[in-house]
Amino acid sequence: MTDHRVAQWRTAPCGSGWVPCGRDWDAVAISPVLRGLNALTALRLSPRRGYPVLADHIGGVLYVMVPPGTGHLAAGVPGVRVLSTGAEVVVPWGPQGSPGAHWVSPPREDPPPLVRADKLGEVLRRLDADSSPARRAAS
């Protein structure tokens, strides 16, 4: 989060609203934000490609949108929560968003490309294993 972005949030008319999960996409909530960004980097998914990814800088959560009904494929990873039918996510209305709902990668197409939940889960597990104390001690 840059000083420029914070200044935009303070001065831009912005808003957000609740959007249901499970219809157009499921959301995989990853804590902390940097861990989720590292996973997207490992998957080589650039923010410029239009995969919908939201950051909640207040709560420290990154929300990665995956195809509806597939979020469970990323479940079971510590620090990961899956939001599907019956859940909602706060989405920014304007391009600037807010500290609680900011597009890290705004959707650019309709429908937008979605991250594969199975691949996201795999890379999170791999990153966790690579950063485990036992693994670091062995290297």
Q: What is the pLDDT of residues 103-113, one digit of tens each?
A: 999 888 888 99
Q: What global pTM score does this model have?
A: 0.84
Q: How far apart are CA 71 and CA 98, in angstroms?
A: 25
Q: Considering the chain, what percentage of its residues have pLDDT values greater than 70?
A: 83
Q: What is the pLDDT of residues 17-46, one digit of tens each?
A: 899 999 999 999 999 999 999 999 999 998
Q: Which residues pair with 82 in a beta bridge?
A: 28
Q: How far apart are CA 42 and CA 45, in angstroms?
A: 8
- Which pLDDT does position 116 carry in this prediction? 97
